[in-house]
Chains A and B, each alone.
Chain A
Amino acid sequence: MRENAKYVAFWVFMGLTLLGLVIWKIGIYTIVVIAPFLPLFIIAMVKMARELKK
């Protein structure tokens, strides 16, 4: 899956940029928006990291 690293990098770039936009628009309330989804996000990231190490 190492060949997919460039795709993952692009997804991460888009995700972080949108996170920045959300923080810019709603400030501290971003925590309220992302908190419920953090467990799912962490599991997805751990799985993605494992796949990339293969």
Chain B
Amino acid sequence: MIIGHVSIPLIIYGLFSGNLDLAALLIGSGFPNFDVLPTLLRKETPKDPINETHASTILHTIFLYLVILPILYLVLSGLGWSNSWVIAMSFSLGGIIHVLTESFDEKGRRLLYPLSKKFYGIKVLPYDFWTYLTDKKVMALEGGLFLAAFLLLVF
């Protein structure tokens, strides 16, 4: 997902706007991609993308966001934030949505970490950046999500 990491949180916010913090949801949704740097700097696609750093670290696991949820809540509550639960939940939800939606690419994601280090998912979308960018299936999916987010928030 590229645009989906913004459009899906916007759709969820449009549906449950009273219970979520959009800023925290978007930061959570982007947070797993801090492990993308080595992939951005690579010169060519490796033969086995599963071996590269992107989406192979703990940042791309559901487990991390389940751990962050109570910690973030306690930290924000300790700081006196009145909406600490909403922010913590929104951030964690954003991270979990990111991991789940990316599990649709051919690499899959470590959905069952730490129980298993295997990559799971419905592997129907391409993983390589340029292939992903020019794939008609992807354009239809991401374009549809974009349209849904736009219509939901504007009308």
Check A36/B27 contact, CB under 8 A, given A11-B2, A14-B142.
yes
Contact of A51 among B23, B33, B130 (CB under 8 A): B130
| Residue B133 CB within 8 A of the other chain | yes
Q: A8-B133, A33-B23, A51-B130 are in contact. Are A21 and B40 (CB under 8 A)?
A: no
User: What are the interface flags for B137-151 relative to A under an 8 Å C-beta threshold, 1 for contact and 0 otherwise?
Assistant: 001001100100110
Residues of A within 8 A of B34 (CB): 36, 40
A1 to B36, CA, bound (A): 22
Contact A21 B23 (CB under 8 A): no
A22 touches B130 (CB 8 A): no
Known: A10-B139, A33-B27. A18 touches B7 (CB 8 A): yes
A-B contact count (CB 8 A): 68
Closest 10 CB pairs of A and B: A18-B6, A14-B146, A33-B26, A29-B23, A14-B3, A7-B134, A43-B40, A37-B30, A33-B23, A26-B23
Instruction: Tell yes or no: B22 within 8 A of A by CB.
Output: yes
Are B22 and A14 in contact (CB-based, < 8 A)?
no
- In the complex, chain A residues whose CB is within 8 Å of the CB of B79: none
Q: List 16 A-B contacts (CB under 8 A).
A: A1-B130, A4-B133, A7-B133, A7-B134, A10-B139, A10-B143, A11-B133, A18-B150, A21-B150, A21-B153, A22-B22, A33-B26, A36-B30, A36-B34, A37-B30, A40-B34
Find out whether the CB atom of A18 lies under 8 angstroms from the CB atom of B22. no
